[in-house]
Amino acid sequence: MSITSLLPGRLGFGTAPLGNMFRAIPDDEAAATVDAAWDQGIRYFDTAPFYGAGLSEIRLGEALAGRPRDAFVLSTKVGRVILDETEDPAARDLGEKGGLFEHGRPNKMINDYSADATLRSIEDSLRRLRTDRLDIVWVHDVAQDFYGDDWLAAYESARTGAFRVLQRLRDEGVIKAWGLGVNRVEPLELTLDLDEPKPDAFLLAGRYTLLDHNRALQRLLPAAEAQSVDVVVGGPYSSGVLAGGQHFEYQKAPAAVLAKVDRIKALAERYGIPIKAAALQFSLAHPATVAAIPGATRPSRIAEDVAALDADVPAAFWTALREEGLIAENAPVPTA
């Protein structure tokens, strides 16, 4: 199925930052950011146990507890189980994402994509989110950035465990849709080649942005479109570097990336548009992409995102990006 009928709009809220990503965020600031998203009309919220060892789910659940459950769409993820025992968050092995949630809860996290762990993860998420149901469930991070050369083993565990459980739950009407939530295109390409089980959608973070989109354009997005598997774009601002931050791929941005961002910014300034508008609208211009879920920890950022989605970007700007080699020749761009 397509999830376009399920999603309430093209802009959602990715709540990884609410898990104290990069910094310790006060509870009241986190709550105010969710409230701002609601007040701006956002009704799709995405989270995960991984974000601060359950902290993002807890904060999101508290902020949404007084809202009518039928009024919003909620997605979370499976693949990690949060335990009661504790560990040093800064010492966790997170592959290429080391230290990402060192300010999160100290609860120990274990990677487990088995059927039993998937059911337990969903049950735990429901409790933390203070809700009776989930709309979309993503299988989280079965990719190279977390598992290196062992990623195929993690993927196979998910294929025989989490994939089948989620498809059954969808078919039974317990959830409305399922898919994979990853930062690499290869697991998604592999999944599209499966005869079964078949996902409804993918959440792809960081791989279809102004800064990084060539690989996704080659095979993944055309194949997803052909199979009616929708793509939700996570990280449309490339971990923040396209929105005034200094992070790319969840780490300090290298000089080459910062130089490319400066070139895009210069063009955006020439045409009088916010760089956020360029980044967000580019990610949503491909026919396979159905929504984008930028993250935020400050209420003011939400209004910026809403404005970016609606900003008038002249066609000449996209032409200039192509002419300067800043976007691929075959990348779709917004049309008036």
Buried b (16+ CB within 10 A) or exposed e, 270-291: eeebbbbbbbbbbbbebebbbb
Q: 93: phi > 0 → left, psi -120 to 50 → alpha, else beta; which?
A: beta
3-state secondary structure of 286: coil
3-state secondary structure of 71: helix
d(CA 70, CA 213): 35
DSSP-assigned letter for residue 66: T
77 is catalytic: yes
51 is catalytic: yes
44 is catalytic: no
**Are 226 and 219 within 8 A, CB to CB?**
no
Read off φ and ψ for residue 219, nearest 5 degrees.
-135, -40
Active-site pick, 27, 35, 51, 310: 51
Is the link from the previous residue into 197 a cis peptide, with omega within 30 of 0? yes
Measured in whole angstroms, the distance separating CA 37 from the mean position of its chain's CA atoms is 16
Question: What is the radius of gyration, based on Cα positions, of the chain?
Answer: 19
Active-site pick, 28, 39, 44, 46: 46
Active-site pick, 44, 77, 208, 237: 77
- Contacts of the segment 218-222: beta carbons below 8 A, 24+ positions apart: 219/185, 219/189, 220/185, 220/188, 220/189, 220/192, 221/286, 221/288, 221/289, 222/288
Which positions are catalytic? Answer: 46, 51, 77
